């Protein structure tokens, strides 16, 4: 005869890629303090499968190993989304949770939200409402659809809430909590690796010259790295920049493959660009915090540089994080070499934008999320677990 344990709310939390890890670590810590206690299951879809972008991030953030790793790996957007859905569904069937919590805008975010919604399980979306208004970006599609499927929508900046209200979402589903990624940044900043240690580990202790400082480059978005001509133009632009300031370039596995595919790896052999393997969180944090400027196509790095007060140039024509431009240290630079180099020169001469830290980017976003989830769960019956 089956018997039931005492009802307890159960939340399945999903991570898939680097920015997810920094957002989820403080959320998990805050959810562990909710009363009555919650059952928490951490699922890693395996969308990022490079060791330096997975296990080392978990270790650096003090986050427990995932309870489940779906091991999805790479593939086209359709393949990856489908694989996540097929492997995630049995997890929900085994022990149906009260809710599935997803963060950000990667393929796994949408895939897990879709599976949960179709099974009648509530979806919680952290970092809801961000919009680039560019539907050629796969992430924009993921954001729009994940928000549509979600019952609780946690926003990181006021503009995100305005987007959701304009799209017709009821205010009762929206919670402005601030930027949970900054929780991790503030907590881990004292532990960031010194740049001198990083270049020593790379075998180039003499790379940086006194007084010159350095720039940081990151590239990974398909719109920048899958187009051979655009990737060549961006790399040649950075080669030109490196004559003014040396450039540190941690290379994403996707970008590394594209550099080799298009025969562009040799462009980096100038002596003024230090190509690095993928870095863990504390290494990347140390690299960014002392940089004279950062060039990137990453949304998360736009936020991190704003929190650090480091000038950032976004190598895109738009951003889904406009507050990093209006209040922070970010500038949307586009792809034209002359424009990028002109902005770089201004930063090197004047020091560039420092900006200010946006409201509620104060290191307590995860606590606000946990409080809101606890209050929401208190109004819902907890599922009984049959043994």
Q: Show Cβ contacts of residue 87 under 8 Å, excluding neighbours closer than 6 positions.
A: 45, 70, 71, 72
pLDDT at position 95: 84
With bands split at pLDDT 50, 70 and 90, how would you rate the model's confidence at 1?
very low
**Burial (CB count within 10 angstroms: exposed 0-12, middle 13-18, buried 19+), residue 239:** middle
With bands split at pLDDT 50, 70 and 90, how would you rate the model's confidence at 19?
confident
**Does pLDDT of 68 surpass 60?**
yes
Residue in this structure with the two tokens 């009762």, named with its chain if needed: 172
Rounded average pLDDT over 361-365: 98
Decide the pairing of beta strands 312-314 and 174-176. unpaired
Weakest-pLDDT range from 38-42, 132-136, 245-249, 378-382: 378-382
Percent of the chain beyond pLDDT 70? 95
Say if residues 283 and 56 touch (Cβ distance below 8 Å).
no
Mean pLDDT, the chain, rounded, equals 93
Report which of residues 73 and 108 the model is more confident about.
Answer: 108
**Burial (CB count within 10 angstroms: exposed 0-12, middle 13-18, buried 19+), residue 270:** middle
pLDDT at position 297: 97
Token pair in block for residue 138:
């796969």
pLDDT per position as a tens digit, 321-357: 999 999 999 999 999 999 999 999 999 999 999 999 9
pLDDT per position as a tens digit, 331-341: 999 999 999 99
Q: Is the pTM of this model over 0.85?
A: yes
Annotated catalytic residues are 220
């Amino acid at each position: 005869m089956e018997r039931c344990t005492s009802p307890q709310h159960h939340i399945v939390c999903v991570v898939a890629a680097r920015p997810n890890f920094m957002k989820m670590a403080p959320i998990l810590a805050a959810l562990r303090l909710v009363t009555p206690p919650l059952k928490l299951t951490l699922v890693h879809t395996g969308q990022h499968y490079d060791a330096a972008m997975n296990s080392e991030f978990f270790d650096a953030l003090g986050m427990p190993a995932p309870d489940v790793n779906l091991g999805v790996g790479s593939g086209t957007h359709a393949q990856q989304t489908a694989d996540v859905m097929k492997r995630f569904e049995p997890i929900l069937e085994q022990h149906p949770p009260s809710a599935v919590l997803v963060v950000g805008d990667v393929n796994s975010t949408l895939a897990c939200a879709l599976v949960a919604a179709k099974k009648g399980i509530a979806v919680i979306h952290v970092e809801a409402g961000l919009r680039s208004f560019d539907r050629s970006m796969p992430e924009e599609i993921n954001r729009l659809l994940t928000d549509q499927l979600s019952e609780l929508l946690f926003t990181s900046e006021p503009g995100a809430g305005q987007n959701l209200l304009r799209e017709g979402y009821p205010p009762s589903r929206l919670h402005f909590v601030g930027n949970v990624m900054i929780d991790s940044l503030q907590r881990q900043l004292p532990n960031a690796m010194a740049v001198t240690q990083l270049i020593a580990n790379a075998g180039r202790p003499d790379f940086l010259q006194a007084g010159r400082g350095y720039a940081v480059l990151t590239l990974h978005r398909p719109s920048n790295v899958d187009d051979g001509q655009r990737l060549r133009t961006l790399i040649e632009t950075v080669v030109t920049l490196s004559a003014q300031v040396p450039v540190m370039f941690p290379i994403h596995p996707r970008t590394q493959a594209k550099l080799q595919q298009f025969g562009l790896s040799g462009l980096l052999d100038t002596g003024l660009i230090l190509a690095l393997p993928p870095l863990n969180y504390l290494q990347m944090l140390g690299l960014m915090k002392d940089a004279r400027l950062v060039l990137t196509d990453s949304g998360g790095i736009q936020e991190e540089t704003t929190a650090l007060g480091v000038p950032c140039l976004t190598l895109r024509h738009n951003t889904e994080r406009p507050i990093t431009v209006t209040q922070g240290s970010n500038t949307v630079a586009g792809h034209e070499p002359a424009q990028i180099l002109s902005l770089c020169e201004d930063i090197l001469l004047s020091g560039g934008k420092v900006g200010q830290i946006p409201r509620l980017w104060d290191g307590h976003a995860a606590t606000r999320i946990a409080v809101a989830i606890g209050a929401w769960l208190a109004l819902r019956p907890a599922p009984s677990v049959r043994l």
